[in-house]
Structure formats: C-alpha cells, structure tokens
Chain A
C-alpha cells in the first residue's frame, strides 16, 4: 500500500552540487508530476510526464531536468544547485493526464526537503 514513494526525505547540498530526486509509484498510473512547495505559496509544477516516454515543462522548469525511466519511476535532477532551489519537492501521479471532462485526482508522495547552502 505504498502509493507514491520519494527518496531521499531530506538533503542538504552546497551551491553548485548536483543531485537527483527519485520518485516511484506502484499504482500503475500513466502520468507523473514534480512540484515544488515554497513558504506562503501553493505548489508549482516543475515538469510532468503524461505517459511513459514523454515529459513536458510545467510552470517553473528552469534549473531542472527530468527522466521518466519507466512507467513506475520519474526522477528530477538539479544539475547545479542554487539557493533559490531550496524547497520541498513533491512527486505526484494520476491514472491519466486527465484532459477532457473527467480529470482524475493526483496522488502525492511525502516530499523531499532540500536545502541548498
């Protein structure tokens, strides 16, 4: 009954270091998403993957890359971390990308708390 699993839960990086955040879901969902959550703001979409083999930019993609490794896994990479990327990162999944009249809800992981010094 795991749902969406994110690793690591916490990480501290120095400016300029690189890091990959991992996400896996066991619900056989087609679509996966990466968000960041900053104090006093709602979640903002970084990248999404409507289905295996596709990825697209969200609202705030600069400084990030993603890989949809297979149907279960969707990773987020910071190539050269900056203090402005200090945030809580959430991965989510949904059965489909939900275009049309019956959009499915998204299921979220517990987040990765990332601090960049």
Chain B
C-alpha cells in the first residue's frame, strides 16, 4: 500500500542549511508536496514538484526528487529561527474521483543559535 516515511527530528544551527528527507512507495505519484506546520496552526503549502521533474528551486527552498529511489528532499538554505516547525512530505495520485494525498508523519525542525 501507499506509505510515506520521514525522519522525526532535525536540529540545525541558525544560518546553516537544513535537509529534510522523505521516501515514498507509490510509483504512480503525480505530484509531491512539502507542507509546513507551525505550532497551533494548519498546514501551509511550501512547494510542490511534478513527478517527472528532478529539481525545483524557490528562493531558499530546493526540492530534489529521485524517482528511481522514490526519495524526495527539501533543502532550506540559510535556516532561520522562523523556519522552526514541522515539515510534512505528501504524495498525490489519482484515486477514485479525486486526487489522493498521503502524508508522512512529519519532521520537526529545531533551529538553534
């Protein structure tokens, strides 16, 4: 069945780069997403990549997709304390009458001075 896995915690120093990794199982995924959740808030879409792309860059964010290994990563350059949050990876694919999203359990990013 479909599954998305992420490491649970990542701690980085302010100013360093953060890399959050994700693996997924379903090869029929159409899009892969990164969402950010701050305490007490809902999920905010950060970026997404179509499954036939290898890389997407958006300001400080770089998404890398290795479709052969079913591995997705999110790199945050010059990480700031405001980047501290939980980051969710999600894959989407057609399922019945809609586009199904499968989420990972989330990676908690802690940024320290």
Contact = CB atoms under 8 A, between A and B. Distances in A.
B97 A4 contact: no
Given A98-B92, A103-B31, A42 B102 contact: yes
Contact of A42 (B42, B99, B100, B106): B106
Contacts, number: 65
Nearest to A97: B98
A43 interface: yes
Contact of B94 (A41, A44, A99): A99
Contacts of A54: 97
A41 B5 CA distance: 10
Q: Is the interface of A mostly helix, strand, loop or mixed?
A: loop
Name the prevailing secondary structure of the B interface residues. strand
B105 A48 contact: no
Interface residues of A, number: 29
A110 B41 CA distance: 5
Interface of A: 4, 31, 40-45, 48, 50, 54, 56, 90, 92, 94, 97-101, 103-111
29 contacts: A4-B42, A41-B105, A42-B4, A42-B103, A42-B105, A43-B43, A43-B103, A45-B100, A45-B101, A48-B98, A56-B98, A90-B42, A90-B43, A92-B43, A97-B98, A98-B92, A98-B99, A99-B94, A99-B98, A100-B94, A101-B30, A103-B92, A104-B99, A105-B48, A106-B45, A108-B42, A110-B41, A111-B40, A111-B41
